[in-house]
Amino acid sequence: MRRGSWHQFGDRSQKLATEMLGLGTGVGVIISARDLSFQKARHYADIYRGLGAEVLIDLQFYVPHFTNPKLRSYPFGAYRLAIPELCRLSDHEVAGLASPLEQIHSRIGANAVIAPAVAYEAGQNDIAILNARLFHVAKAVGGNLGIPSYATVILGQSTTTSAATMDAALSQATALDADGWYYAFEFSPERVPSDPDTVLRCCKAGLTLACTGKPVLHAYAGPMALLSHGFGSTGAAVGHSQNLWRFTRGRWSRAKRGAGQAPPRFFSTALWGTIIYPDETRRLPADLRAAILTTTEFATPVFSNLRWDRWSANKHFVAAICQKVDLISRNTDPRTCARSAVEVLQSALSLHDRIGATGMSLRDDTNAYQHSWLQSLQRLLTEADADYNYLSLLG
C-alpha cells in the first residue's frame, strides 16, 4: 500500500481522480462499484495505473442487499442479499464468491483485494462470523492473483459507544490473517465529527490496527485525513462530496437529495474548514484573507474575485486536503505526524479567534470541531504512548 492520500470514489469522481493524478496529487484510487460500472472501472483503472497510481475497488457491500444499475454490471449480483440470508449461506455457496471476485480484480488489475464485509455491530457475533467467511474467500482470491488481501473493518456505531464494545469488534477483526486493513468508523450524523471522545476512539481503533504491523487505509476520511497518519495509517482516502467525508450507510439509500443552489465553499487548510465564497471571503480584512486562502490549481478565480463554481470548489477541497496529507505523510513516524496535525489545529484555532475578533461569524460553524480534534490528538499522544513506542520499533 502506497503511503499518502488516496482518492475515494463517489459520484463523478473518475475524471476528478484523473485530473488530480495528472497534477501529481494522490498515490492511489479506490473505485466505487456503486458509482462506476464494471466496463468504466476497467477503462479508468488503466488510466490511473498509467498515471502511476495504485488501484483498488470497493465492492460496496456494507448494505449488501442494496443495488443499482452500476452495481448490477458486476458479476456479483447473486450475493446482494440481506445480512440474515448471507449468514445462512452454506460454505459451498460462500466459496462461490471466489469466481466473481477473481474476475473483477483481475480485469481491473487491482493492486490488492478489499474483502467484502458488512459493518461490525456490538453483540452480533453472526456478523463477525460472516465477515470472517467473506474474508477467507477474498484471501484465497488474493493468493491466486498474487496480490495482498485487505480485511474491511467498518466499526458500526453500536460498537463505538464504549472502549469495551469497540475492543471486542477489533479483536474479531484482527484475528483475520489480513495483509492490511481497509478501515472506517461510523460516526453519528453530523457534517464533520466533533465529539472529542468519539474522535479519540476512532484514532485509537486505527492505532490498534496499525500495531498489527500491517498497513491501514483510512477510508472515508474526508477532512479527518489530517489525523490519519497520526494514528498510524498508511493511506488516507478523500472524496469530494459530503457523503464521502465520513462513513455513513445513508450513501446506500436509493433516495438522492440535491444540494440546491448552495454557494461554493472554499476549503482553507489554514482554518482546516470551509468559508463561503464570495459572501464571507470578501468580508475578511486583507491580512486575514491572505492568511486563510489556500492556493491550488482550482482556486485561481478566488484570488481575483471572479466567478467560481461549486464543482471547482469540490476539486479544490480534494486537492488542498491531499496536498497537506501528502506533506504530513512524508514522515513515517506516527507520533511526529500526530504532532504535525496538532500544529495545524492550533494554528487554525488562532485564525478562528482572529476572525471572531472582527465580529464576523462563519455560517458553516467551521470551528465547531478543531478544538475537539486537538483534545483528541493530545490525549492520544499521552494515553497511547506505549502503542507509539511499539510502532517506532516496528518502523
Q: Report residue 395's pLDDT band, with 50, 70 and 90 as the boundaries.
A: confident
262 Cβ contact list (under 8 Å, min separation 6): 310
Q: Report residue 260's pLDDT band, with 50, 70 and 90 as the boundaries.
A: low
| Per-residue model confidence (pLDDT) at position 245 | 83
Which element (helix H / strand E) includes 139?
helix 125-145
Q: Report residue 368's pLDDT band, with 50, 70 and 90 as the boundaries.
A: confident
In the chain, the N- to C-terminal Cα span, in Å, equals: 15
| Per-residue model confidence (pLDDT) at position 366 | 67
C-alpha radius of gyration, the chain, whole number: 21
> Residues 134, 116: contact at Cβ < 8 Å?
yes
Whether 13 shows a pLDDT value over 50: the answer reads: yes
pTM, rounded to two decimals: 0.95
pLDDT in tens, 34-50: 999 999 999 999 999 99
Whether 273 shows a pLDDT value over 70: the answer reads: yes
Per-domain residue ranges of the chain: 4-252, 265-387
pLDDT in tens, 276-327: 999 999 999 999 999 999 899 999 999 988 999 999 999 999 999 999 999 9
Whether 259 shows a pLDDT value over 70: the answer reads: no
Percent of the chain with pLDDT over 90: 85
Whether 262 shows a pLDDT value over 90: the answer reads: no
Average pLDDT, the chain: 93
Whether 68 shows a pLDDT value over 50: the answer reads: yes
> Can you tell me the mean pLDDT for 85-102?
96
The C-alpha cell at 389 is: 513506542
The C-alpha cell at 247 is: 462513513
Whether 202 shows a pLDDT value over 90: the answer reads: yes
| Domain 4-252, CATH | 3.20.20.80
> Can you tell me the mean pLDDT for 199-227?
97
pLDDT in tens, 145-189: 999 999 999 999 999 988 899 999 999 999 999 999 999 999 988
Residue corresponding to grid cell 443552489: 261
10 Å CB burial of residue 217 (0-12, 13-18, 19+) is buried
Least confident of 88-102, 243-257, 340-354: 243-257
| Per-residue model confidence (pLDDT) at position 243 | 81
Task: Please give the backbone phi and psi of residue 56, each rounded to the nearest 5 degrees, phi first.
Answer: -125, 160
3-state SS track over 294-342: CCCCCCHHHHCCCCCCHHHHHHHHHHHHHHHHHHHHCCCCHHHHHHHHH
Strands annotated E in 93-234: 113-114, 149-155, 180-185, 216-218
Residue corresponding to grid cell 478544538: 371
Whether 364 shows a pLDDT value over 80: the answer reads: no
pLDDT in tens, 112-130: 999 999 999 999 999 999 9
pLDDT in tens, 230-258: 999 999 999 998 888 888 887 776 545 54
